[in-house]
Amino acid sequence: MDDQTKTRLSAQTLVAQALGVHEPMTKAIVPPIHMSATYLRDADNGYAAGYVYGRTDNVTVQQAENLIAALEGAEEALLFGSGMAAATTVLLALEKPTHIIASQVMYWGFRSWLRDIGRYGHRVTFIDTSDLDAVRAAVKPGETGLLWIETPSNPLWTITDIAAVSEIAHAADAILCVDSTVATPIFTRPLSLGADIVMHSATKYLNGHSDVVAGALATVRDGPLWARIRKMRGQHGGALSPFDAWLLMRGMRTLNVRVRAQANTAAKLSAQLVGHPAISAVLYPGLEQHVGHKVALRQMAGGFGGMFSIRIKKGDKAAIAVAACVELWKRATSLGGVESLIEHRASIEGEGSPCPGDLLRLSVGLEDAEELYFDLTRALSVAT
């Protein structure tokens, strides 16, 4: 598919055909997995095909990257061995020690890594990035080099206004990175809203089947930082394996239908649970009463994602008891798979977590909405 076709076609068509790549020798419509770790050098000592060594060059990985780039409207995407490998590479590739502004409420694994980033010379200010005045106040002119936001963010599904924060970042000559794992490229395209880099834990919705750990970065601005990111991935060897890239591409073929169905069920369940006697709050950006709903309406198109949280009136112990009583929902960490997951987040986040102890995070899968509702409400009444 040429670039013009890629920009013209919908995400639905792009993912279904995985950009229409086929294998030229047999015309197989499913591309094979290129496992080779090395490539033949030409007699003239060159590498005319452009492939030299597996740590940096692999067609299967590139095919999955090209699909992610097309979905995000990016110039280039890079795949990594995990979402954390992708996210940390951005920070490690910064040219010099800098001041970083990051969302207070975000994926805990990355937040705890960021908290220790002082050893690389960087300083971080954690703020509520949904509060634009707080973002403006946190910028240190001449010092702030990077803003890192996650929207909707774990596990309160806080919404940050990407376009507004990108203006603030660019006015300060800083770059904006957006962890868009939960929104997926189907509902939000951060690069079109001004972000410089978009990041995904491809482990989650992009792959969607809980059987690959992967991460992605994509950009529209191929500048010096991006060149260092690309080089660092090659040097550190953080790229995704060909087999995982192939599985990821297979998973992405159904991305559009999966996330739309998951968002529909999440919208239905969250609305049904509002006012439940055992629940003190239902957190879902699709609900009118969610603090980020208005911004979400503006920057999310077609749905609000498949993640929501509930807070249990009777507190921490009761929340754990509810999770213990479900049968259909699986008690596990992670999100975005075809099977619904329930998790007491505070237990995994540990000390220093801003996650309330009475909160249960729900990742909605592809099961029947009524069966999921019945299972959860039965657990709520048994446990509370």
Ligand X SMILES: *Cc1c(COP(=O)(O)O)cnc(C)c1O
Q: Which residues are catalytic?
A: 55, 107, 179, 204
Nearer to ligand X, 215 or 292 (CB): 215
With CB under 6 A as the contact rule, the residue among 82, 88, 166, 270 that binds ligand X is 82
4 Cβ contact partners less than 8 Å away, ≥ 6 residues apart: none
Nearer to ligand X, 15 or 307 (CB): 307
With CB under 6 A as the contact rule, the residue among 63, 66, 68, 107 that binds ligand X is 107
Q: Which of residues 323-382 bind ligand X (CB under 6 A)?
A: 335
C-alpha 358/C-alpha 280 separation (Å) is 9
Is 154 one of the binding residues for ligand X (CB under 6 A)?
A: yes
C-alpha 275/C-alpha 222 separation (Å) is 49
Strand, coil or helix: what is 275?
coil
Identify whether the C-beta of residue 206 lies closer than 8 Å to the C-beta of residue 68.
yes
Strand, coil or helix: what is 174?
coil
Nearer to ligand X, 148 or 246 (CB): 148
Interface size with ligand X, residues (CB under 6 A): 17
Shortest spacing between CB 148 and ligand X, in angstroms? 11
With CB under 6 A as the contact rule, the residue among 62, 103, 181, 188 that binds ligand X is 181
53 Cβ contact partners less than 8 Å away, ≥ 6 residues apart: 37, 38, 39
With CB under 6 A as the contact rule, the residue among 21, 146, 178, 213 that binds ligand X is 213
Which stretches within the chain are classed as H helix? 3-8, 11-17, 59-72, 83-92, 108-115, 132-138, 162-171, 184-187, 224-236, 242-252, 255-273, 293-299, 316-325, 345-349, 369-383
Identify whether the C-beta of residue 348 lies closer than 8 Å to the C-beta of residue 333.
yes
C-alpha 137/C-alpha 261 separation (Å) is 39
Is 179 one of the binding residues for ligand X (CB under 6 A)?
A: yes
C-alpha 97/C-alpha 143 separation (Å) is 9
Nearest to 18 by CA among 8, 29, 7: 29
Shortest spacing between CB 366 and ligand X, in angstroms? 18
| Window of 25-33, 103-111, 224-232, 368-376 that interacts with ligand X by CB under 6 A | 103-111
Nearer to ligand X, 170 or 209 (CB): 209
Q: Which of residues 215-234 bind ligand X (CB under 6 A)?
A: 215
Shortest spacing between CB 199 and ligand X, in angstroms? 7
Shortest spacing between CB 210 and ligand X, in angstroms? 11
Is 109 one of the binding residues for ligand X (CB under 6 A)?
A: yes
With CB under 6 A as the contact rule, the residue among 84, 197, 255, 341 that binds ligand X is 84
Is 108 one of the binding residues for ligand X (CB under 6 A)?
A: no
Contact positions vs ligand X (CB under 6 A): 82-84, 107, 109-110, 150, 154, 179, 181-182, 201, 203-204, 213, 215, 335
